[in-house]
A and B are shown apart, each in its own frame.
Chain A
Amino acid sequence: MSGRLEGKSVLVTGAGSMGPGWGNGKAAAVLFAREGAKVLAVDLNKAAAEETAEIIRGEGGRVEVFAGNVTDEGSVKSMVAACVDAFGGLDVLHNNVGILKAGSPLDTTVEDWDRILNINTKAFFLPCKHALPQMLKQGAGSIINISSISGFRNLGAPYIAYNTSKGSVVSFTRNLAATYAAQGVRANSILPGVIDTPMARDATIQTSGKSEAEIDFDAVAKTRAARIPMKRTGTAWDIAKAALFLASDDSAYITGSEIYVDGGLNCTA
C-alpha cells in the first residue's frame, strides 16, 4: 500500500454492510485503514460495524466501533466526539448512509417520502454539521459524500424519493465546499453507477417483486453490464478507491467537485 492516509483520523458512516459481501462503507473503511488511517467505523447495526472492524484488526489496522444513528443529532455529536477522543482529531468524514425504497411519484406515500428524505439528507447534513467545527479548528479536512448517478439520470427504476435525496447530496456538497474552502476544508461527491453491493441486491429484490432465492444475480449483472461502456458492473472497491483519492492530499485542489464512478454509463445514449 502507499500510506496515503498515514496518521489521519477518519470517520466512516455506514461502515457495516447490510448483508454478506462488500458495501461501499465497508470497503472504504478497510481501504482507508490499509492506507494508514485510524478509522471510526460507525453503523446503526453494531454487529455490522464490528464485522468491518474485525477485518481491519485482522490486517493490523487501527479501528474503533461506534454504534450510532446519523439522523439523531445527539448520536452524531457523540460519534464526532468519540473520533476526536480516540484518535486526537478528525481529518476525513466519509458519509455513506442511505436507504432505498422503490416508488414512483404516484405510489410513494407521504410516510415513505418523509422517511427516505429525512434519513438520506440528515445522513450527510448532521455529520457535516458536527464534524465541521473540529475540521475548522484543525484548518483542514476532507468530506466525501456518496451521491448516485440516479440523482441525475433516470435509470428506468421508480426510485423517486431516493433519487431526489441523492441529487440533493451534490447541491449540499457544492454549497458546503464553497463556504469552507478558504478555511482548508474540502468537500466532494462520488456518484456511483451500477455497483454490485448488498444494498443494490436489495433494490433488485424490491423492484422485481421476487424473493432473493428466485433471482439469478449473475444474470442480472450480465444484462446490466451490457449497457455499460466498460462491460462490467462496479464493485465497492471501485468506489472505495475514488474515496481514498478524495480523502488524500492528492486531491488538495479539488473541492465542490463530483467524481462519477460508473464505468462510463452516463456517457452512453
Chain B
Amino acid sequence: MKNPFSLDGKVILITGSTRGLGWAAAQAAAEAGATVVLHGRNEAAGKARKQELEGRGLKADYLAFEMADREAIAAAVPTIIERHGSIWGLVNNAGMLLHNTIWEETAEIYEQIMSVHMVAPFLLTKAAAAEMKKSDAADRGRIVNISSIAFSSPRAGICNYTAAKGAIVGFTRAASAELGAHGIRVNAIAPGYFVTDINKERLQDEAFANKIKVRTPAARWGDPSELGGPTVFLLSGASSYVNGQLLFVDGGMSHFLHSV
C-alpha cells in the first residue's frame, strides 16, 4: 500500500510562497514529492527559492506577479499547464496585513485587502478547478485556502484582514459544495501565531509576544514547519473525505479563553 500523504507527480501552485508560512508549505509539499510552483511578487526571490528546492533534489518552478494584477492572475494557470501539463493543487496563501482601526480605515484600503484575500483566490480557484475537472481520475484536485486565527479570535486594529479571512471560509464552504461533485476538494487552514519572519518583528514587543503565549494552551508560538504537515494532509489522499473544512493549526488557541 502506498503512502497516503504522497504528492508524487502532483503540480501545486502555492501563492505567497517565497517566505513565511507559504514557504513552509512549499517545502513540505516538495518533500512529499510535488512539483511546487512558487509564487511571490519578486522575481529574484522566486528564482532563489526554486534553486534552493532544486538544490535539495526537489522539484520546483516559480511565477512572479502582484495579487492585484488581474491579467497576471489570469495567465498563471495557463502558464502552469503549458509548462507542466496539469495542476493538482492550489494553495491560496498570499496575503497582507495593514493595521488600521475602523476610524482610520478607508474604503480604498478595505477593498485593496479584499482584492488580495478574496478576489485573487476566487479567480485562481476558478481557473485551476476548470483544469482539474479535465482529469480522468475520480479524485481530481485540491484547493487549500489559508484563513487565520483572526477568524475566530480577532484583535483590535485588523478589521480588514479579519473580514477577509472570514470571507475565505465562506468561499471555501461554498466552493466545496459546488466542486465536490467534480472530484475537487476545497478546505481551509486557520493558522494561529507562528514565528515567521514578519512576526519576528512583532515578537520584539515583549508584552504582545507574552500575551499570545499565555493565550495559547500550547504555551508557545508555532514553528512555520508545523504548517507543512497540515498542508500536505489537505493536499494529499490522506484527507480523501475531508471537504469544506476549516482546520485550526493554533496550539489550541481558538477554543480557549484565558481569564486574564
Chain B residues closer than 8 Å to A262, beta-carbon distance: 241, 243
**What CA separation (Å) do A256 and B152 show in the bound complex?**
14
Write out the residue numbers on chain A whose beta carbons fall within 8 Å of the beta carbon of B72.
none
Residues of B within 8 A of A182 (CB): 217-219
CB of B230 closer than 8 Å to a CB of A: yes
Q: Mark A240-255, 1 if CB is under 8 A from B, else 0.
A: 0110110011111111
Q: Is the CB of B238 within 8 A of A244?
A: yes
Given A252-B229, A259-B247, 9 extra CB contacts under 8 A = A34-B1, A237-B240, A242-B238, A245-B229, A245-B239, A255-B252, A262-B243, A263-B180, A267-B244
CA distance A238 to B229 in the complex (A): 17
- List CB contacts (< 8 Å) of B1-20 with chain A: 1-6
Closest A residue by C-beta to B192: A253
The verdict on B254 contacting chain A, using a C-beta distance below 8 Å, is yes
Interface centre among A4, A182, A248 (most CB of B within 10 A): A182
Can you list 20 pairs linking A and B with CB atoms under 8 Å apart? A1-B3, A2-B6, A177-B217, A178-B252, A230-B180, A230-B185, A231-B181, A237-B240, A241-B237, A242-B241, A242-B242, A245-B239, A254-B247, A257-B247, A257-B255, A261-B241, A264-B185, A264-B243, A267-B173, A267-B174
Number of A-B residue pairs with CB-CB distance less than 8 Å in the complex they form: 143
Measured in the bound complex, the distance between the Cα atoms of B226 and A179 in whole Å is 21
A178-B254 Cα distance, complex, nearest whole Å: 10
Contacts of B226 in A (CB 8 A): 252-253
CB atoms of A238 and B243 under 8 A apart: no
Q: How far is the CA of A125 from the CA of B233 in the complex (A)?
A: 28
A267 and chain B: residue at smallest CB distance: B244
| Interface size bracket, A side | 35 or more
CB pair B243–A263 under 8 Å, yes or no, is yes
- Contact bitstring A165-193, B, C-beta under 8 A = 1, else 0: 00000000010011101100000000001
A22 to B162, CA, bound (A): 42
Which B residues touch A228, using CB under 8 A? 180
Q: How many residues of B contact A (CB 8 A)?
A: 48
A242, A245, A253, A267: which contacts B218 (Cβ < 8 A)?
A: A253
- A23 part of interface (Cβ distance < 8 Å): no
Which has the most chain A C-beta neighbours within 10 Å: B173, B217, B219?
B217
**B208 part of interface (Cβ distance < 8 Å):** no
Residue of B nearest to A229 (CB): B180
Interface residues of B in 117-145 (CB under 8 A from A): none
Question: Contact check: which of A244, A248, A253 meets B249 at CB < 8 Å?
Answer: A253
Q: Does B36 contact A (CB under 8 A)?
A: no
Q: How far is the CA of A257 from the CA of B192 in the complex (A)?
A: 12
Min CB gap B135→A, angstroms:
15
* Of B222, B229, B239, most A-chain CB atoms within 10 Å: B229
Within 8 Å of chain B (Cβ to Cβ): is A68? Answer: no
> Could you tell me if A244 and B245 are in contact, using CB atoms closer than 8 angstroms?
no
B residues 204-260 in Cβ contact with A at 8 Å: 216-219, 222-223, 226-230, 232-233, 237-245, 247-252, 254-256
Question: Once the chains are docked, how many angstroms separate the CA of A241 from the CA of B174?
Answer: 24
B86 at interface (Cβ–Cβ under 8 A)?
A: no
Chain A min CB distance to B106 (Å): 34
Instruction: Report chain A residues within 8 Å CB of B217.
Output: 177-179, 181-182, 255-256
